[in-house]
Structure 1
Amino acid sequence: MWSLKRKTTGEALFDLANNIIMLCLCFVTLYPIWYVIVNAFNNGSDAMQGGIYWWPRMFSLENFKAVFASPGIMLAMWITVAKTLVGTVTHVFFTAMVAYAFSRRNLIGGKIYILMGTVTLFFGGGLIPTFLLIKDLHLLDNFLVYIIPVLFSFFDLIIFMTFFRDIPEGLEEAARMDGANDWSIFLRVVIPVSMPVIATIALFHGVYQWNDYFAGIIYVNNPDLQPVQTFLYRVVAQSSSNQMITAVQGSNLVKSVTSQSIKLATMIVTTLPIVFVYPFLQRYFVKGMMLGSIKG
């Protein structure tokens, strides 16, 4: 039978204080997002008057029409989607491949490699040496600049390696008895049983690829290769807002949009896709982070 234990006054007050604090934190976290959404869906000229906090005063889609009327945003969106998909797949596969080799305890010089990789977690070459390296590799104004420099991550390798070491050795031994080589074991045995950690790393790197704007600013001058986050950066920096408004001059849009309203609408357009993807990977994310710590 269930026994119900009544809370003491101190415990009840403690729970009440916790709930109030958590509600305040949720409000402080979520309200700025809601404020951006509300103002993005409001008439830009009307929003200039202020006083819009909870709901659009003059609901309008003209801000989003102005965003999509810009000749560069759709191409930037395609570049972002392409670099996110290609970058995530190649990063996960390459890092997992190296981590599988590192997870073998009979790897010659394994401890030295681990030490060398650990140093990279704390020390980097800096922006100027990195730029010179990218230039010498002829990756400037090249789509591969989004892929090759982040093809491997030692931090992700540690997560992969920890998981791979917990895979029962009997699986690999059974595969070798059936004539499988290292590639076959990695592709047909290790990868299928490692989907939780793969989804975790894919989520990590996918979000990074989607949100990265720095590479587009430093390494890419060709506007046809700039991702949408770099496009958003230029909008926020007001270098493109006036161009976007100019692009819709002569139409009814210019009467109801402002540079500020276009910035807010662009933030929504560039943020929502990755927000929608996250819930589908969240269960794998949690499972992948926990499995390595609870296995014996």
Structure 2
Amino acid sequence: MKISILKRRTLGEKIFDTVNVIIMLIICFITLYPIWYVLVNSFNDGMDAMRGGIYWWPRKFSLDSYKAVFSSPGILKALGITVAKTVIGTFLHVFFTAMVAYALSKKELLGRKFYMTLGIITLFFSGGLIPYYLLLRNLGFLDKFIVYIIPAMFSFYDAIIFIAFFREIPSSLEEAAKIDGANDFLIFLKVILPVSLPVIATIALYHGVYQWNDYFTGMIFINDPDLQPIQTYLYRIVAQVGSNTAMQAAPGGIITRTVTSQSIKLATMVVTTFPIVCVYPFLQKYFVKGMLIGSIKG
């Protein structure tokens, strides 16, 4: 006979839980409300929004700001560059970093301690922006699409997460593949990668967000407007000081009674952040699992 005993919570436990819930609700509100504020004002008439007082819902609904944003082929080109560099850059980064990390996870690798020491040093020290710029210039990467891809193909921080995960994979899987005649590359490609989906999704999410949000590379290393990503495009709009100057720099140079420089900024912010926000829910379960495996077990 099973007897279930329900433990009564004390008054102190109830107060503690209530306070925790209130604090978490406050944190959620502080985190989410600025996003909601930007979204609401971006869908409001620009001139009407200048009067203020819009906090929860659009007072005068309008899509003119979004029409102004999408009316220029410049932003569509920038969006295409951003999508391309995010997809290509994330794929190559995950594959190359995982391949290097797989080799470094093997204790029998010749010179492994030396490579690990060099990698750890790079986590704390760097050459600086000027030497980095001169290096990319000498390599011929300036004003080329590959400047978004090749310099970001490897990250030792991400490699550490991969190494911690690979060490938890049973060696019997690799031994069985070797018996079947597979070499190290086939083992990595056919055995290791398929069982590493959680950590792959974690690193892909990390680097995908970085590639999508990166405006600095396009601002420093790219002069060709046809190769600038949408984040650099957004930066140039937000960086405008006067509303007249900002409107002249707005997509298509459109100036109407319902569109202002501020409404253009808000609409562009929504356009640039919406796609990456949509990806998060699909990768969240892999992201959490990969982080736990890479941090606790590592």
**TM-score normalised according to structure 2 size:** 0.94
- SS of residue matched to 2:53: coil
Question: Structure 1: how far apart are the matches of 2:251 and 2:87?
Answer: 31
In the alignment, is residue 243 of structure 1 matched against residue 245 of structure 2? no
In the alignment, is residue 62 of structure 1 matched against residue 64 of structure 2? yes
Task: Tell me which moved more, 240-249 or 29-38.
Answer: 240-249
Which of the numbers 108, 120, 123 marks the counterpart of 2:122? 120
Which of the numbers 50, 53, 61 marks the counterpart of 2:52? 50
Deviation string for 1:237-256 (max 9, x for gaps)? 1265423276334xxxx110
8 Å contact from structure 1 (residues 95, 151) kept in 2? yes
Aligned residue identity for 1:4: L
- Corresponding residue of 1:274: 276
Question: Structure 1: how far apart are the matches of 2:79 and 2:252?
Answer: 21
- Corresponding residue of 1:101: 103
Aligned residue identity for 2:169: I
8 Å contact from structure 1 (residues 90, 151) kept in 2? yes
Mapping for residues 12-91 of structure 1, pairs under 5 Å? 12-91=14-93
The offset of 1:173, in angstroms, is: 0.8
Question: Structure 2: how far apart are the matches of 1:159 and 1:244?
Answer: 42
The offset of 1:295, in angstroms, is: 5.5
Deviation string for 1:168-190 (max 9, x for gaps)? 11111111111111111111111
Question: Structure 2: how far apart are the matches of 1:266 and 1:147?
Answer: 24
8 Å contact from structure 2 (residues 68, 252) kept in 1? no
- SS of residue matched to 2:48: helix
Aligned residue identity for 2:17: D
8 Å contact from structure 1 (residues 76, 227) kept in 2? yes
Question: Structure 1: how far apart are the matches of 2:213 and 2:260?
Answer: 25
Q: Using a 3 Å threshold, how does the CA distance of structure 1 residues 265 and 103 change in structure 2: closer, same or farther?
A: same
The offset of 1:19, in angstroms, is: 1.4
Aligned residue identity for 1:264: L
- Corresponding residue of 1:4: 6
Q: Using a 3 Å threshold, how does the CA distance of structure 1 residues 189 and 237 change in structure 2: closer, same or farther?
A: same
- Corresponding residue of 1:224: 226
Which of the numbers 198, 203, 208 marks the counterpart of 2:205? 203
The offset of 1:154, in angstroms, is: 0.3
Question: Structure 2: how far apart are the matches of 1:200 and 1:145?
Answer: 24
Which of the numbers 187, 190, 193 marks the counterpart of 2:189? 187
The offset of 1:292, in angstroms, is: 4.1
Question: Structure 2: how far apart are the matches of 1:2 and 1:125?
Answer: 64
- SS of residue matched to 1:194: helix
Question: Structure 2: how far apart are the matches of 1:293 and 1:3?
Answer: 37
8 Å contact from structure 2 (residues 78, 228) kept in 1? yes
8 Å contact from structure 1 (residues 220, 226) kept in 2? yes
Question: Structure 1: how far apart are the matches of 2:251 and 2:128?
Answer: 38
Question: Structure 2: how far apart are the matches of 1:243 and 1:236?
Answer: 10
8 Å contact from structure 2 (residues 164, 297) kept in 1? no
Deviation string for 1:150-205 (max 9, x for gaps)? 11000011111111111111111111111111111111111111111111110110
The offset of 1:2, in angstroms, is: 3.3
Question: Structure 2: how far apart are the matches of 1:151 and 1:31?
Answer: 35
Gapped runs of 5+ residues in structure 1?
none
Aligned residue identity for 1:184: L
8 Å contact from structure 1 (residues 44, 260) kept in 2? yes
The offset of 1:287, in angstroms, is: 1.2
- SS of residue matched to 1:42: coil
In the alignment, is residue 150 of structure 1 matched against residue 149 of structure 2? no
- SS of residue matched to 1:36: helix
**TM-score normalised according to structure 1 size:** 0.95
Structure 1 consecutive aligned stretches of length 4 or more whose deviation exceeds 3 Å? 292-296
User: What's the % identity of the aligned pairs?
Assistant: 66
Aligned residue identity for 1:247: G
Aligned residue identity for 2:126: G
CA RMSD of aligned residues (A): 1.5
